[in-house]
Structure 1
Amino acid sequence: MAERDRLAERFQELRPRLRAVAYRMLGSTSEADDVVQEAWIRLSRADAAGIDNLEAWLVTATGRVALNMLRSRATRREEPLDGYLPDPIVDRADAIDPEHEALLADSVGLALLVVLDTLSPAERLAYVLHDMFSVPFDEIGAILERSPDAARQLASRARRRIRGVEATTAADAAAQQEVVGAFLAAARHGEFDALVAVLDPDIVIREDTGSGTLFEMRGAENVARRAAFFSQLGLDTRPALVNGAAGWVARLDGELYAVAALTVRDDRIREMDILRDPARLAALDVTIFDSPI
């Protein structure tokens, strides 16, 4: 086998891991694919014979490309942090697609990605590469053109910001589906009291409609009233796993209307992140819900 063919084969083996790095950095599946493609271009132009550890080289290259994209995004003021939800990874409530497993390793829930979006590009890189992919701080410092100690401090600052965002295990998600089912049943029939009973008193919902500003609402009674109102639309709503955690998908007249990721604690819904941007929803493949659940 020619050397380039061997290199291409090894790259394909590592592609899921590289895509996972880029997705955590950017919160966008399409941009993650662009970053991975750019990493391949850089590898094809490099002297592969001089690379001692190909996986480490590619993870670093992917992080560097994603960092540049984050910085460019901030410069152009695209996707403001207060008006954008990351791309959701949607699965049926009873199983995660094998292709999604690498993206969702370490329980990268939508709530965590929302917090990651509040970090500076440098903080996000330091946290993602070190805490999620075990890249040494000297290598992270080299990417950022800072010392290893400075990179360590960036990761520490990011860690403090992320503290409190709890990972959701598969077992947790399975147990939480009962809560989701109760919410959907109450919402479907517009049962106000039943909705309030399953919502945390201090629940917060964040909704991305594509307008550039997140709609936010707090309080169980407010959220219950909103859910009861939407019950009048005749939505086909089903439980789902969204980034490995409890959630739901809703269709209206056969078209995807919304995807929501939930944070459930003590058998009540504490947070709900809802994507309702028609353009981004159109790019999601939810044909897995065409068959009965």
Structure 2
Amino acid sequence: MDSETLARRFDELRPHLMSVAFQVVGSMPDAEDVIQAVWLKVASSDTRAIANLAGWITTITTRTALDTLKARHRRRETLTGDDLPHEGETSGPDAEVLLAESVSRALLVVLERLSPAERVAFVMHDVFAMPFDEIGSILDRTAATSKKLASRARTKIHAAPAPASSQVAEHTKIVRAFLAASRGSDIPTLLELLAPDVIRTVDPILVAPGASTVIRGAAEVADETRQFTTRAKKAAVVLIDGEPGVVIAPSGRLLALMTISFNLNGQIRRIDITADRSYHDAATLTLPTDGGE
């Protein structure tokens, strides 16, 4: 295959390769670096004997993404205060497009809790339908071990059934309704969902200097959501330690956790928003059983 044809084929595959890289590494800059490295390898290779070019390049992409993921885990990168995006900033527009088209924001956040091997096994099998023998060759594991890694990942990603699941399901619906109303500045709906004496707390790092970190009352909390519609659009519902809450995750990277509690009438009585990394790391994040975002 001549270089011009190879370049054209690579460009045709680029959206798929970018999706693979993004879901494995969870970062647009890292995914772009992966694709650049893959192209350099592909362009310098003799592809004449390759029967399945798309499969071959996908495998190279997955291996390169795995190496990147391992390196990042070794560095144990964390967001600092200076790294936190503020309201109105456009964080990773390309990543936002990929999130809309290929993977849920909540799933991408939960994937960060997996080991590199678990993440690759789950993403490549459950999302891209790659056979376990091919995944095993990428991970340098057997097909059976790769299957176990994917199974272990599913257990960590999906919430286990609990005795109070009916209440959790009902509260999850309320949290989804709250997030939807926040995105649309739907004040009447917010006032129905919030308890009259609701309290909202937030870490100072997440709001403008001098802004109140504690707000009380349904009208005040509902009105405040007008300032954060952009951030609400970059949020998703998850289970935090088994209870429905919200992750705020621009470009799929965890910025803050919003824990929510309810009164006996099923109204939201308290909202606590934290950017504390130690709390984030200690919390168990899983997807709601209904699978929605």
The TM-score by the shorter chain falls in which range?
0.5 to 0.7
Name 1:117's counterpart in structure 2: 112
Kindly indicate whether residue 161 of structure 2 is the aligned counterpart of residue 162 of structure 1: no
SS at match of 2:185: helix
Question: Are residues 1:146 and 2:138 paired?
Answer: no
Residues 1-293 of structure 1: matches in 2 within 5 Å? 3-79=2-78, 100=97, 104-105=100-101, 108-164=103-159, 180-181=180-181, 185=185, 193-194=191-192, 196=194, 228=220, 231=223, 235=227, 237=228, 248-249=229-230, 260-263=234-237, 270-275=244-249
Deviation at 1:225, TM superposition (A): 6.3
RMSD over aligned CA atoms reads 4.8
Unpaired runs of 5+ residues, structure 1, are 92-96, 166-175, 210-221, 238-247, 251-257, 282-293
Pair 230,116 (structure 1): closer, same or farther in 2 beyond 3 Å:
same
Q: Post-superposition shift, 1:249?
A: 0.7
Instruction: Extract unaligned runs of 5+ from structure 2.
Output: 85-89, 161-175, 207-213, 256-293
SS in 1 for 2:114: coil
In structure 2, C-alpha distance between the alignment counterparts of 1:179 and 1:15, rounded to whole Å: 33
CA contact (8 A) 1:141 1:150 kept: yes
1:139 & 1:208 partners in 2: Cα distance?
45
> How many residues are paired up?
220
For residue 54 of structure 1, report the CA deviation from its aligned partner. 1.0
Determine the C-alpha separation between the residues in 1 that align with 2:157 and 2:204: 21
Q: Secondary structure at the match of 2:8?
A: helix
Provide the secondary structure at the position in 2 that maps to 1:48.
coil
Once residues 208 and 138 of structure 1 are traced to their aligned partners in structure 2, the CA distance between those partners, rounded to angstroms, is 46
Give the letter aligned to residue 19 of structure 1. Answer: M
Matched to 1:146, the amino acid is R
1:94 aligned residue: none
Structure 1 distance, partners of 2:204, 2:106, is 13
**1:133 to 1:233, Cα distance in 2 relative to 1, 3 A:** closer
> Deviation digits for residues 22-74 of structure 1, max 9, x if unmatched?
11112111211111111111111221112221111111111111111111111
Q: Compare CA radii of gyration and give the structure with the larger one.
A: 2
- 1:179 CA drift (Å): 6.2
Normalising by structure 2, report the TM-score. 0.59
